[in-house]
Amino acid sequence: MIRRIRGELVGHTADTVEVLAPDGLGYDVNVPMGLVDRLPGLGEPVELHTVLVVKDDALELYGFESAHDRELFRRLRGASGVGPRLALAILGALPSDRVVSAIQGKDHATLQTVSGVGKKTAERIAIELADKLDDMRPAIGSTIPVRGPSQAAIQALRALGYGPTESASAVKRAVDALDGREVGTENLVKNALQFV
């Protein structure tokens, strides 16, 4: 199993990166949408946590920013009808903490915002995985509220082209910087922009 790749970022598209390892081997790695925007520039060192998926006709490598995201990808694939491409799409569309809370809260509507996830797939994922993600919950205080101004601010940052994880992190940092003061979405977006 290839669990991690470290090397030079030598190429990328929106959903794949090419990493040249120090031993001279080059790896094509499938990554969640938005991750490429958070990686260093071409020619810079990069490290990805990976999962190797063996198919009848191919070996496919999937890469993630953290071991947490890699493990969530594995568990998503454990649900009936969820292959590696759909699991990757879920992690590209929603921050991992939001994926966990949506599954555990049986929030089918949130899961259905992912392209390729219909009502039945969302229900199946929630039913099959809700009790298998307890150890994937974020530490207390590490997430932001998922409704109200915080969620609206995340959506505004996403509309500006920032990735889901980057947007959620920036809004969380803005909420922390404001010391919990009640602010509207517009003020929250302005403050969050300094953290992206």
Structural domain includes residue 127: yes
The pTM of this model reads 0.69
pLDDT score of 180: 58
Domain boundary among 64, 86, 102: 64
CATH of residue 57: 2.40.50.140
Domain boundary among 46, 64, 82: 64
pLDDT tens for the chain, 196 residues long, are 789 999 999 999 989 999 999 999 999 999 999 898 888 899 999 999 999 999 899 999 999 999 999 999 999 999 999 999 999 999 999 988 889 989 998 988 899 999 899 999 999 999 999 889 888 865 433 444 444 677 778 888 877 877 777 777 888 888 878 775 657 788 888 888 888 7
CATH of residue 157: 1.10.8
Whether residues 132 and 78 fall in one domain: yes
CATH of residue 83: 1.10.150.20
**What's the residue count for the chain?**
196
Q: What is the DSSP code string of 85-120?
A: HHHHHHHHHS-HHHHHHHHHTT-HHHHTTSTT--HH
Whether residues 52 and 77 fall in one domain: no
Domain boundary among 112, 136, 160: 136
Structural domain includes residue 142: no
Whether residues 82 and 43 fall in one domain: no
Q: Give the number of C-alpha atoms closer than 13 A to the C-alpha of residue 183, restricted to the C-beta side.
A: 21
- Phi first, then psi, for residue 150 (nearest 5°) are -65, -45
Query: Could you tell me if 38 and 65 are in contact, meaning their C-beta atoms sit under 8 angstroms apart?
Result: yes
* Helical pair 164-177 and 185-192, crossing angle rounded to 10 deg: 110
Whether residues 174 and 161 fall in one domain: yes
Structural domain includes residue 39: yes
Number of domains composing the chain: 3
Whether residues 44 and 83 fall in one domain: no
Domain of residue 36 covers 4-64
Query: Could you tell me if 184 and 175 are in contact, meaning their C-beta atoms sit under 8 angstroms apart?
Result: no
pLDDT score of 190: 87
- Phi first, then psi, for residue 129 (nearest 5°) are -115, -10
Whether residues 111 and 74 fall in one domain: yes
pLDDT score of 139: 42
Structural domain includes residue 144: no
Whether residues 131 and 79 fall in one domain: yes
Neighbour-count burial of 193, counting CB atoms closer than 10 A to its CB (0-12 exposed, 13-18 middle, 19+ buried) = middle
Distance CA 157, CA 179 (A): 21
Structural domain includes residue 52: yes
Structural domain includes residue 128: yes
